[in-house]
Amino acid sequence: MASSHRGASAGPSRDKSYFEQQREALLGDIAMSFEQVLGNINKLNRSLESIIAVGNEFSSVETLWSQFENVMGKDEAAAAAAAAAAARQSGQGGGDEQPVQSQQQQGSGSSGSRGVKREAQSDVENE
């Protein structure tokens, strides 16, 4: 009797129940899925870092274009003011039309590409 009792108690401790086997299998699957997710997140993070690095490389180019835009805007405004002053002194240029155009050009030259938008908008308003 003792041997059958020992055999009965030893059986369940060595053999896992169906629930425990399924539980371990699912936990293993979940662990593998988490490892895959972690690997994919790390891969995505590296990709984002490289994209940001490429974007940061263009900051110097953007600065140069902004400086160029500002310089060109100042030159256009100065040229328009000089042309308006010369037209007033010589009495040519049709009177009222020339000063209006030079004022529009002066207003547009100080802010670069935004000035082009303003100039186009004022042309539409004048029509």
How does pLDDT run across 28-86, given as a tens digit for each residue?
999 999 999 999 999 999 999 999 999 888 989 999 999 999 988 888 888 888 888 88
Q: What is the DSSP letter of 15?
A: S
| Residues 102, 71: Cα–Cα separation, whole Å | 18
In a domain, 86, yes or no: yes
On whether both 76 and 43 belong to a single domain, the answer is: no
Q: What is the DSSP letter of 93?
A: S
On whether both 112 and 78 belong to a single domain, the answer is: yes
Whether the Cβ atoms of residue 80 and residue 106 lie closer than 8 Å to each other: yes
The residue range of the domain holding 49 is 16-57
| Residues 47, 53: Cα–Cα separation, whole Å | 10
User: Does the CA dihedral 117-119-120-121 come out positive or negative?
Assistant: positive
In a domain, 26, yes or no: yes
Q: What are phi and psi of 33, to 5 degrees?
A: -65, -40
In a domain, 9, yes or no: no
On whether both 122 and 81 belong to a single domain, the answer is: yes
In a domain, 7, yes or no: no
Predicted confidence at residue 127, as pLDDT, reads: 44
Q: Which residue has the tokens 């993070």?
A: 45
Global pTM value? 0.40
